[in-house]
Copies of this chain bind each other. A is one copy, B any other.
Amino acid sequence: MHRDNETVRLEAFSDGVFAIAMTLLVLQIKVPRHEAVALKGLAQSIVALWPSYLAFSTSFITILVIWIHHHWIFKLINRDGHALFYWNGLLLFCVSFIPFPTALLSEYLIHPDARVASTLYSGTFLATSISLFALWRHASLHLLSPSASEQKIDEAVQLTNQYRYAPPLYFLVFILSFISESWSAGLCLLLALTFAFGGWPDKGNH
């Protein structure tokens, strides 16, 4: 109960930012213009939007996964404090920036300059994964309840192990984006799916 009083509004506010950033992504899928449709038909024009669908799906799943992790972190901690507001604010900053590189990738994935769009896209995800890692590091070092149950500590250890891999993996995808924009974009989707399905803390009752 006491925990609620301290972090409940921070969680609700963060949820708002996550939910809005995810839902705004759809605005980046542009309805084909009448001139283009006159040329090649609506069906083909919609199919030609596949970079938009790819970017939408990847960003949506990534933000959803970040939200789930955020949810876990706040289930384990029971206090707030100055620094938590900073690290959480940094994470929200990254998350609410994501719609821009998503729109950029949608527009320029099939273009000679696709590499630039892909670099900014994976670079944003790299920054986001680092800020999530920093938030977790701070929370696990300072805000775990001193009287945490053994199960909670187990979960914390598992999350720590998992977060260790996210920033270096996104760093590799970022480096790769200088070489091949399609591989890099595809791996962003693969990573999001991996973290979604692979990384659940192992709990009996869950």
Is A179 part of the binding interface, using a Cβ–Cβ cutoff of 8 Å?
no
Q: Determine whether A54 belongs to the interface, using a CB cutoff of 8 Å to chain B.
A: no
Given A11-B9, A42-B116, A104-B46, answer yes or no on A96-B31 (Cβ-Cβ < 8 Å): no
A29 to chain B, nearest CB (A): 5
Query: Could you tell me if A37 and B108 are in contact, using CB atoms closer than 8 angstroms?
Result: yes
Main secondary structure of the interface of A (DSSP, over half): helix
Which residues of chain B are within 8 angstroms of A26 by Cβ–Cβ distance?
A: 21, 24, 96-100
A113 to B39, CA, bound (A): 12
**Contact call B31/A22, Cβ cutoff below 8 A:** no
- Distance of A181 from chain B, by nearest CB (Å): 11
Residues of B within 8 A of A42 (CB): 108, 111, 113, 116-117
Distance, CA A186 to CA B52, complexed state (A)? 28
A68 at the interface (CB under 8 A from B): yes
Q: How far, in whole Å, are A61 and B90 apart by their CA atoms in the complex?
A: 9
**Residues of A bordering B, CB below 8 Å:** 9-13, 15-27, 29, 31, 34, 37, 41-43, 46, 56-57, 60-61, 64, 67-68, 71, 79-82, 85-86, 89, 92-93, 96-100, 103-104, 107-108, 111, 113, 116-117, 120, 196-197, 200, 205-206
